[in-house]
Structure 1
Amino acid sequence: MSTQAATLIANVVSAADAEFHPPSINEFFPDAIFFEGTVFAITRINLIQMLATAVLVILFLVGTRRMKLVPGRFQSVVEMGLDFVRVNIAHDLLGRKDGNRFLPILTTIFFMVLFMNLTGVIPFLNIAGTSVIAVPLLLAVVSYVTFIYAGVRKSPGKFFKNSLMPSGVPWPLYIIIIPLEFLSTFIIRPVTLTLRLLMNMIVGHLMLVLFFAATQFFIIGLGGWWSALGAGTLAFGFAFTLFELLVAFLQAYVFTILTAVYIQLAVAEEH
């Protein structure tokens, strides 16, 4: 038997013995690490969420504790991030007065989503804190409550009427329009905010795991000429990691700007 034939047979046998471990939805439901079996159970993802929150709080405490007229590099970066939300989201959509009123909540939402999204591409963490429904749902509820608060504060007796009964519509059509407006404004908005962020983070994680699991399978599990395929999946994995960095920022921006849009609609004279 020739050397090439023997190598081919060895590769085939190796391929049969090697096992590919694809990504699983179970990764988003890890076992508890602390307080297992209680309502306070803490999983690996919960620890990642706590870590992202702690890092965010520490960065802003350090960056804003001793503000200088001529900022250093770190203070400049912090101010740049805060100005991005203030100028490009709050003031641009809500104006200076309302923008400053709701700036704290918009800033919190933006950076909370951003930092928890970024944990999905950080080595040894490798999963976004927003890839389980609790965080996106919590933020959607905060956005929803802020939207209703803004509307009721602006027009205490007319907010719900203006939201459900647009002006200029013949009265008989309100039989159809009111249920549709209620569904669209008060049900679909928080649901879509939650699912948009959640699904993007889930899909991103599954794709990254797929690429890097395939790389390990081809290079380590099979070896030989299969390594060429492993090099390809590795390249795709790195490219998709860069794409996920962009997605992490875009999802934070989209979530925050939609919250600002909903607030702007609530404080408008008519909806």
Structure 2
Amino acid sequence: MRPSDDFQAPGLDLFHFPPLWPGAPYWLTKPILMAGVGIILICALLWAAFARPALVPRGLQNIAEMGYLFVREHAARPFLGKDADRWMGLLLSIFLLTWIWNLMGVIPLVQLPVTSFLAFPAVMALTVYVIKIYVGVRKWGAGAYVSNLIPRGLPKLAYVLLIPLELLQNFVTSLFTHMLRLAANMFAGHLLLAFFSAVGFWFLFERPTPLGVPVGVLGVVMAIVMTGFEMFIQFLQAYLFVLLTAMFIGDSLDPEH
């Protein structure tokens, strides 16, 4: 059997996209297009839901309010308390946009989770990072803001290690963990779905053999199962991303909360 006839598992080429058409700017690729579509879709849905709100919500307004209540009760209020409603515009937008970008990985013909490209979670995480520092410094002042990050009441010797670790965690690692958690999960999920789909296509259609057909059937079954599981992970990662956003902002506004 020639090497070209061997099954080739999907690799990093899944995440390489040329410009949309010859001569287009190098940055104008499918991920950029899908990111823009996601933004427009969220704006359109929220406008349609709340442009003329009814006292008794129905249809799209009812669905949008369910999303609003979910973010408020399970992300905003636990960390922002009485300030939760002030931040709901930002938190709801981040949650819905992250979720839509994630879901694009299982939408037929699109099949591309925008958040698997690190640049997109990085922009959102960096925005949250700037906001949390800004609101903390604005409320407490720079010195008190940094001081609030250090727990009180510990033995003095403990602060030799604790202070550098707390500063590192709040000013460096929190930013990277915020964006990497989302990007890594979407990246891995996309690869898994592509792998099982490729197995099914190869052994059932491309190179069917008596021994290969059962493997192909298993690949199709696993692709279906993993699609359902990935949809759950996509929702969960959107929730965790907005949960961390609320936690970071809440810690800046009220370190004792």
2:15 corresponds to? 28
2:180 corresponds to? 195
Does 1:160 find its partner at 2:107? Answer: no
Q: Cα offset for 1:228?
A: 2.1
SS in 2 for 1:32: coil
SS in 2 for 1:122: coil
Q: Percent identity?
A: 34
Q: Tell me the alpha carbon deviations over residues 53-112 of structure 1, each in whole angstroms, 9 at most, x when there is no partner.
A: 1111111111111111122222111111111112221123321x2111221111111111
Which of 109, 113, 128 aligns to 2:98? It is 113
CA distance, structure 2, for counterparts of residue 75 and residue 254 of structure 1: 24
Letter in 2 for 1:62: A
Backbone CA RMSD of aligned residues: 2.2
1:101 corresponds to? 86
Letter in 1 for 2:116: S
1:147 corresponds to? 132
1:5 corresponds to? none
Structure 1 portions without partners, runs of 5+:
1-12
Q: Is contact 2:79-2:251 (8 Å) kept?
A: no
Q: Cα offset for 1:151?
A: 1.7
Does 1:215 find its partner at 2:203? Answer: no
Q: Tell me the alpha carbon deviations over residues 123-170 of structure 1, each in whole angstroms, 9 at most, x when there is no partner.
A: 11111010111111011112212221232233124111221x432244
Alignment of 1:78-93 (within 5 A): 78-93=64-79
Change in 2 beyond 3 A, CA 1:44/1:110: same
Q: Is contact 1:144-1:190 (8 Å) kept?
A: yes
Indicate the structure (1 or 2) with the bigger Cα radius of gyration. Answer: 1
The number of residue pairs the alignment matches comes to 255
Q: Cα offset for 1:190?
A: 0.6
Q: Is contact 2:34-2:114 (8 Å) kept?
A: yes
Does 1:254 find its partner at 2:236? Answer: no
Q: Cα offset for 1:29?
A: 2.4
SS in 1 for 2:151: coil
Letter in 1 for 2:241: F
Letter in 2 for 1:162: N
CA distance, structure 1, for counterparts of residue 3 and residue 155 of structure 2: 70
Change in 2 beyond 3 A, CA 1:169/1:24: same
Q: Cα offset for 1:119?
A: 0.2
What is the TM-score normalised by the length of structure 2? 0.91
Q: Is contact 1:19-1:221 (8 Å) kept?
A: no
Q: Is contact 1:52-1:115 (8 Å) kept?
A: yes
What is the TM-score normalised by the length of structure 1? 0.87
Change in 2 beyond 3 A, CA 1:94/1:196: same
Q: Is contact 2:135-2:252 (8 Å) kept?
A: yes
Letter in 2 for 1:57: C
Between stretches 100-109 and 117-126, larger displacement belongs to 100-109
SS in 2 for 1:130: helix
Does 1:76 find its partner at 2:58? Answer: no
Between stretches 105-114 and 219-228, larger displacement belongs to 219-228
Which of 104, 112, 115 aligns to 1:130? It is 115
Q: Is contact 2:9-2:198 (8 Å) kept?
A: yes
Change in 2 beyond 3 A, CA 1:36/1:24: farther
